[in-house]
Amino acid sequence: MGIQGKVVVITGASSGIGRATATLLAEHGAVVVLGARNNDALSTVANEITGSGGRAVFKSTDVRCRTDLEELVALAIEHAGRLDVIINCAGIGPISRFDALDVDGWDAMIDVNLRGTLYGIAAALPVFAQQESGHVINVISTAGIKMVPTMGVYAATKNAVRTATEILRQEAGPNLRVTEVSPGMIATNFGNGITDEVTKIAIGKQISAVAIPPDAIARGILYAIEQPPEVEVGSIVIRPTAQG
């Protein structure tokens, strides 16, 4: 048990859940390989980790670009000689009602939330197959569990990832672990990407009222990783007790 020395790729690592997860795993001895679009924020996270005695490298990564994910995985191999876990955490949520017709927002969520996760899986699987070990962790959302207005396309992308994750688990065989983590209302900058002003205000009020810190999700991810290799934690739902 434990994650000491494990090599972990994390997308969406510059803020929110990804950043909290990178920090926590590094504190427990993991080598973290960080990817996100904001290079300056990534550098800050990596410097904080290494400044505290942890091991971290980073690369500017746009999960909409398949080669970016391949290069991020290659960085893990170059830096640490292997890859033990990939955490597909990058996600966006420009949510709105369907009749707002934010088709560009729909496309963006499909590209980042769904396609970006699939590209992460595609980059890691050949390495895991060669090593005969590995762990895929996909960060999903409780928006795909409880259906509510404004979340239609966002929840659809997350449930598409949920479906892909479960089928990957069934196909994986004895050497690959697969975990889905569904966060509820978390105190992150999620609301910043909402373009519909009415929805943005409503979500902001909900976050202020009930949200829990991203560290709560990071601890769940840590739990899944630190289990013995023959133990797979298939699904974790982590939400505020006050969330309806």
**Residue 59 belongs to what H/E stretch?**
strand 55-60
Tell me if 86 sits within 8 A of 165, measured CB to CB. Answer: no
Residue from 58, 128, 154, 190 carrying the catalytic annotation: 154
Q: Tokens 């369907």 map to which residue?
A: 98
154 annotated active-site: yes
Q: Tokens 């943005």 map to which residue?
A: 200
Task: Tell me how far apart the alpha carbons of residues 110 and 119 are, in angstroms, rounded to a whole number.
Answer: 12
**Residue 75 belongs to what H/E stretch?**
helix 66-80
Task: Tell me how far apart the alpha carbons of residues 183 and 174 are, in angstroms, rounded to a whole number.
Answer: 27
Instruction: Give the 3-state DSSP-derived string for 131-196, with helices as H, strands as E and coil as C.
Output: HCCEEEEEECCHHHCCCCCCCHHHHHHHHHHHHHHHHHHHHCCCCEEEEEEEECCECCCHHHHCCC
Catalytic residues, which ones?
154
